[in-house]
C-alpha cells in the first residue's frame, strides 16, 4: 500500500491541524523534529500499522500550549493501537493481521537499559538522550501516531500482541489505554508502594490521575483520594469509588484528615507535572506545588510515585528557573521523612501484559474510569481545545471507524 496518510500536526501554540503526510515506510525520513542522526535510519525490524485507536494525551497538550520547543509540523501521538498490515524482512514473530498495542516508549531490546527492563530510557533510539517516543519533541523524531498509519521499529520487541482478534476488537476502547496512561498510572501507584490496605492520595484528576486511582484500587488500596481544582474531573473520580478533595476549598492535609482520620497517607502519586497550580481558586502557576504538598502529606517512610511530566526546557515557565526545569522543591522535608521518589517515563513493557489480562478478564474497566470519548480524526482540533479547557474526558481518535458506536462500558 502507498499514498497519503492523514495525521494531526502541531502548528503553533494553541493550534493543531489534520494534514496529509507521506505514507510510512520502513525508513525514518527527514521531517519536523527528526534528529539529524536518525534521518535515513532503516528499520528492517519494523512494521506498518493501520491505526485502530490513538489517544490525545496530556503530554501532547504541553506541546500544543507552546510549553516545549516542538517545531511546526510535528506529527503528534504516542498512544497507538493498531493492526499490522506490513512487516519488515527482519521481523520474525509479529504477523500481518495481528492487533497490537504500541508502548509509547520506543526501545531497541538490545542495550543495557532494555535488558534491565528500563525501556523508557533505551540507549539506541534517540541520538540526543536516552529514551524515545512517537510524535514527541526531542524524543528522536519518530513520526507520531495520531494518524491513519504509522511505522513501529523493533516490532518483535516492542509490540504487545493481543491473543484473540475478536476479543481485542470487543475490548478495544479499554485496550487502547495500554499504550500509555494505564501503565503510567499503574507505575505511579506501584512505585509509591501501593498495596492491600494502603491509603493513597493522587494529585490530579486528569486521565493519568484517574488511571493511577483505578490502578490503586486494582492493587487493593483501602482508600483512594483524588485531588484537583476542577469539579467536573473530581466528579469523574467519584464515579468509580474514589474519595475526592477540592483544592480550592481548604488545606489538603485537613481534607485528608476528614476522610481517613489523620492528615497523612501511606502513598502519593503526582499525576500533574510541571504545569501545576497553587491550591486555591483562580490560582497562578506554581510548578513545585504538587511535589511539596505530597511531601507534607505522605507519612514518614512513605514514597512518592511521580509519573507527571517534568521538562528540561519550558519556554512558558513562570520564571527563569522554571524555564530550565529548576524547581523550588523542599527536598529537606523529603529527606527528613525518609521519602522515596520514583520519576521518569513509565517503562510500559514492564506492566502492559498483566494489565491487558486484567482488562480481558474484566478485573478493571479503565475506559469507563477515564471517561473515554471516541471522536473522528478530523475532530482532533476540537478534542484538543476541549481537553485544554479542562473537559473530564479521555479523547480517543478513530481513524478507520474501528470504534464506531463504541462507548465506555
CATH topology for 182-343 is: Rossmann fold (3.40.50)
CATH 3.40.50.720 intervals, the chain: 182-343
Q: Are 56 and 380 in contact (CB under 8 A)?
A: yes
DSSP string, 82-117: EEEEEE-TT--S--TT-EEEE-SB---S-SHHHHTT
DSSP string, 37-66: GGTTEE-TT-EEEEEEEEE--HHHHHHHTT
In 10 A of CB 89, how many CB atoms?
Answer: 7
Sheet holding 265-270, edge to edge: 243-246, 223-228, 199-203, 265-270, 298-306, 340-343
Nearest to residue 389, comparing CAs of 225, 241, 206? 206
CATH 3.90.180.10 intervals, the chain: 4-180+347-397
Q: Is the pTM of this model over 0.85?
A: yes
Tell me which CATH code domain 4-180+347-397 carries: 3.90.180.10
Per-residue pLDDT of the chain (409 residues; tens, 9 = 90+): 557 899 999 999 999 999 999 999 999 999 999 999 999 999 999 999 999 999 999 999 999 999 999 999 999 999 999 999 999 999 999 999 999 999 999 999 999 999 999 999 999 999 999 999 999 999 999 999 999 999 999 999 999 999 999 999 999 999 999 999 999 999 999 999 999 999 999 999 999 999 999 999 999 999 999 999 999 999 999 999 999 999 999 999 999 999 999 999 999 999 999 999 999 888 899 999 999 999 999 999 999 999 999 998 889 999 999 999 999 999 999 999 999 999 999 999 999 999 999 999 999 999 999 999 999 999 999 999 999 999 999 999 999 999 998 887 7
Task: Give the cell for residue 216.
Answer: 490503586
Cα–Cα distance, 19 to 323 (Å, whole number): 31
Q: What letter would DSSP give residue 338?
A: T
* Strand bridging mode 340-343 / 298-306: parallel
Amino acid at each position: 500500500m502507498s499514498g497519503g496518510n492523514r495525521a494531526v500536526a502541531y502548528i503553533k501554540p494553541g493550534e493543531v491541524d489534520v494534514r496529509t503526510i507521506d505514507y510510512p515506510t520502513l525508513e525514518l525520513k527527514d521531517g519536523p523534529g527528526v534528529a539529524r542522526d536518525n534521518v535515513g535510519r532503516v528499520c528492517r525490524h519494523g512494521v506498518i500499522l493501520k491505526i485502530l485507536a490513538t489517544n490525545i494525551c496530556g503530554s501532547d497538550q504541553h506541546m500544543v500550549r507552546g510549553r516545549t520547543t516542538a517545531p511546526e509540523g510535528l506529527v503528534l501521538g504516542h498512544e497507538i493501537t493498531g493492526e499490522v498490515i506490513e512487516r519488515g524482512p527482519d521481523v520474525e514473530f509479529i504477523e500481518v493481521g495481528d492487533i497490537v498495542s504500541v508502548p509509547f516508549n520506543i526501545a531497541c531490546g538490545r542495550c543495557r537499559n532494555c535488558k534491565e527492563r528500563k525501556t523508557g530510557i533505551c540507549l539506541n533510539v534517540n541520538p540526543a538522550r536516552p529514551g524515545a517516543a512517537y510524535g514527541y519533541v526531542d524524543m528522536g523524531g519518530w513520526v507520531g501516531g495520531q494518524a491513519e498509519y504509522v511505522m513501529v521499529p523493533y516490532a518483535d520487541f516492542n509490540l504487545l500482541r493481543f491473543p484473540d482478534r475478536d476479543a481485542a476488537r470487543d475490548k478495544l476502547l479499554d485496550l487502547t489505554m495500554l499504550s500509555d496512561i494505564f501503565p503510567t498510572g499503574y507505575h505511579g501507584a506501584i512505585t509509591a508502594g501501593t498495596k492491600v490496605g494502603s491509603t493513597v492520595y493522587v494529585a490530579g484528576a486528569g486521565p493519568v490521575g484517574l488511571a493511577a486511582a483505578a490502578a490503586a484500587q486494582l492493587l487493593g488500596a483501602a482508600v483512594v483520594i483524588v485531588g484537583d481544582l476542577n469539579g467536573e474531573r473530581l466528579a469523574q473520580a467519584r464515579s468509580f469509588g474514589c474519595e475526592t478533595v477540592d483544592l480550592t476549598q481548604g488545606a489538603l492535609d485537613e481534607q485528608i484528615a476528614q476522610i481517613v482520620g489523620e492528615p497523612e497517607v501511606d502513598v502519593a502519586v503526582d499525576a500533574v507535572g510541571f504545569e501545576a497550580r497553587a491550591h486555591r481558586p483562580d490560582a497562578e502557576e506554581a510548578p513545585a506545588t504538587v511535589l511539596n504538598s505530597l511531601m507534607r502529606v505522605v507519612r514518614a517512610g512513605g514514597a512518592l510515585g511521580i509519573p507527571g511530566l517534568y521538562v528540561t526546557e519550558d519556554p512558558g515557565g513562570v520564571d527563569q528557573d522554571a524555564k530550565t526545569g529548576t524547581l523550588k522543591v523542599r527536598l529537606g522535608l523529603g529527606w527528613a521523612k525518609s521519602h522515596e521518589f520514583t520519576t521518569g517515563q513509565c517503562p510500559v513493557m514492564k506492566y502492559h501484559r498483566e494489565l491487558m489480562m486484567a482488562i480481558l478478564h474484566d478485573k478493571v474497566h479503565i475506559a469507563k474510569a477515564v471517561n473515554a470519548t471516541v471522536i473522528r480524526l478530523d475532530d482532533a482540533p476540537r478534542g484538543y481545545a476541549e481537553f485544554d479547557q479542562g473537559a473530564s474526558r479521555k479523547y480517543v481518535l478513530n481513524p478507520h471507524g474501528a470504534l464506531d458506536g463504541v462507548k465506555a462500558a
